[in-house]
Amino acid sequence: MIKNTRINRNKRLLFIFSSFIFSQSIQAQNQQGTGYPYFVNFTQGLQPQEAYKVATSGVQNDATFTTDGLRLTRSVNNISGGVILADKIFKSDQGIKFEFEFAIYGGNTNGGDGISIFLVDGSIPKDQLNLGYFGGGLGYSFVRGGESTEGLRGAYLGIGLDEFGNFKTSFNQGERVRNGIFGVTLADGRNNVSLRGKRGNQYLSSSEPAGYNGYPLLYSTATNASPSSSNRSAYLNTATGKYIGIQNPNLKQFSIESGGTTIPQNENDARFRKAYVTLIPNPSGGYNITLEIQHGNVKETVIDNYYYPTSLKYTETTISNSTVRTLDTSPPATFRIGFAASTGAAKNIHLLKNLGVTRPYAAEVTDDLFSGCPGIKSTYSPLLNDAAYSGQNPPTLSYNNLDFNSFRFLDINGSVIPNIVNGTYTSNEGTWVYSYATGKLSFRPAIGFTGIAQIKYDIKGGGSNGTEAPYNLEEYRSMPALIQVNVSSSNNCSKACVISNKNVTQKITR
């Protein structure tokens, strides 16, 4: 995702940590136990071991692992697909942060239905995992009536990337009943990004057993509405169970659909889409939720610091009336992450790739693109646009907080390259040498090599001596970052390539 300047990071810290609780020291390169960090590109054409294709209601699960990514649906009418990372468990006590690229394309001009990304209680037995109602439910929520479908079991939070717009809606159509937004009409019924909350686990009546209530709509934004529109966004007032509309004028206008017939490969393409979701623990319990979406090279805050408490009031729609109820929304001890998508009379391909999961306040890294010359060793500073956190109340982000000694070489799929000696790794493209003292990286192309040489890395904070907890723990390690060196004799090689750090061309973002 090439760009000339680094995308501005959202450095605002939503809420302070009330405390850090850690019971053990985690050794380097151990990613077990807490689940953090986690990265999967979904582009190997193989189903990852931890991924589980969950049964869908009455139809075949269309999810397919391709070399383009996890394709949840083809551009075919009335299909659905879903995957839960059933064997990857993430502790919830200090929050969670995840990011992923998505593409919605290849179908109708106004396609449907959309993609849901959700957090599920990690204690639910694997054989009891399910997907909820498709169509407007996007595999997350329920529907009661003639086509009754239970909602997602263990559901805690659902995020709808909803091109058709029905994920947010309530309806009472006799044969179909479900809660949703009411009392506020959004400026655009389509192209909505919405949050839904926790499953209702109480047996309320024969028509409302567990799984057929709850899942309240928390927040919705019409991304493609004009910034000057009234009620561009609406959120649930958790004290009253009613919705409040807001203008949200600072959000630029964009469609969540990529459109076109191909997958956008990087942010130089205006159709490129990437989502960033952060849940920060609130001292009063629950989380503050921020959701950002990158379209092209612009990163927008779509939902800004919404408070999701441990108990809330919402309005449940029944066949006979609507009732304000109180819902226990305490988070589970652990999370799983899952994805689902569906089509209806309108259709699109729905695809995900490059999922990364970290702790909030994990080290942050940026991809790099450098130039190099055939056969000549050049030295770069790939960490200059990276940073880590330090301190509390609130933590601060700085390059000076990086622990150079925690640098690891990764292969192109994000896996740790073993048996690195003296910071040296040799591939068919050439030899990479990392300095643990300075954070610099040199690359000497192999004889005869021209083209793009690639290597990935990750790194932690903890300060220059790597001793500051909790940022020196493995669960605060960064996502993988990609280094590319464009080796070409056209890169002014008679002058530029013999001078360290004079051949930097661009910084690029993950």
* DSSP notation for 122-157: TTS-GGG------GGGTTTS-BEETT-B---TTEEE
What pLDDT shows up at residue 173?
A: 62
**368-508 and 51-358 share a CATH fold:** no
- Residue 431's CB is within 10 A of a number of other CB atoms, namely 14
What pLDDT shows up at residue 67?
A: 97
Task: State the Cα–Cα distance between residues 185 and 231, nearest whole angstrom.
Answer: 7
What are the extents of the domains in the chain? 51-358, 368-508
The single residue listed with the structure tokens 């569906």 is 342
Its sign, for the CA torsion 165, 167, 172, 177, is positive
Sorted by sequence, the CB contacts under 8 Å of residue 25 that are 6+ apart come out as 473
What pLDDT shows up at residue 57?
A: 65
Q: Class of the 51-358 domain?
A: mainly beta
CA-closest candidate to residue 27, choices 336, 390, 408: 408
CATH 1.10.3470 fits 368-508, yes or no: no
Q: In what order do the strands lie in the sheet with 144-145?
A: 144-145, 176-178, 171-172
Task: State the Cα–Cα distance between residues 339 and 72, nearest whole angstrom.
Answer: 8
What pLDDT shows up at residue 499?
A: 39
- What's the pTM? 0.89
- Regions of the chain with pLDDT less than 50: 1-33, 496-510
What pLDDT shows up at residue 177?
A: 79
Whether omega before 395 lies within 30 degrees of 0, making that bond cis, reads: no
What pLDDT shows up at residue 27?
A: 28
Beta 64-65 vs 70-73: how paired, if at all? Answer: antiparallel
The DSSP letter of residue 259 is -
